[in-house]
Structure formats: structure tokens, C-alpha cells
């Protein structure tokens, strides 16, 4: 799905872009886990990646209307 497939008035135009940023941030955080040696920082980065990944999943479910609450 590409955000350009939807008019700006369609929420999916925006959720797709935000979800892409979430996914980039998750990748960045997971890469940083290997770059730092502080176990607390590693845990924080991995936890943040998990939480943001869950947000990305929620946005994806909205776009695909795969949850009952998101059906139109």
C-alpha cells in the first residue's frame, strides 16, 4: 500500500506514512542495541522497539480494517 494511492482526506494517506516512520525507528533502535554496551540502554532500546512495533501493527490493522473496531 502506498500513501499516494489515497487522497489526503483519507486517514490511510497519513497512517501509511506514520507507519513507515515507525518501522524505520524500530530498525534504528534495534541497530543501536548492538552499538551500546550499557545493558540498561540496550533494554530501553529493545523495549522502545517493541512498543513502537506494536503501534505500527495497530496502524496496519487500521489500514487493512482487520480489527472489528476499524471496519467501516
Give the domain extent around 51: 26-65
Sign for the pseudo-dihedral over CA of 58, 63, 65, 68: positive
Q: Is 34 within a domain?
A: yes
Q: Is residue 2 part of a domain?
A: no
**21-36 pLDDT per residue, tens:** 999 999 999 999 999 9
* pTM of the full structure: 0.84
Q: Quick one: cell of 66? A: 482487520
- Give 2's pLDDT tier (boundaries 50, 70, 90): confident
**Domain assignment of residue 60, yes or no:** yes
* 68-72: long-range pairs with CB below 8 Å, 24+: none
User: Domain tally for the chain?
Assistant: 1
11-64: pLDDT as tens digits: 889 999 999 999 999 999 999 999 999 999 999 999 999 999 999 999 999 988
Q: Tell me if 42 is assigned to some domain.
A: yes
Residue 4, domain member (yes or no):
no
Amino acid at each position: 500500500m502506498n500513501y499516494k494511492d489515497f487522497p489526503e482526506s483519507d486517514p490511510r494517506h497519513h497512517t501509511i506514512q506514520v507507519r513507515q516512520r515507525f518501522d524505520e525507528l524500530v530498525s534504528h533502535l534495534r541497530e543501536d542495541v548492538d552499538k551500546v554496551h550499557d545493558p540498561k540502554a540496550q533494554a530501553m532500546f529493545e523495549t522502545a522497539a517493541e512498543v513502537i512495533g506494536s503501534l505500527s501493527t495497530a496502524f496496519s490493522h487500521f489500514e487493512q480494517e482487520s480489527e472489528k473496531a476499524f471496519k467501516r
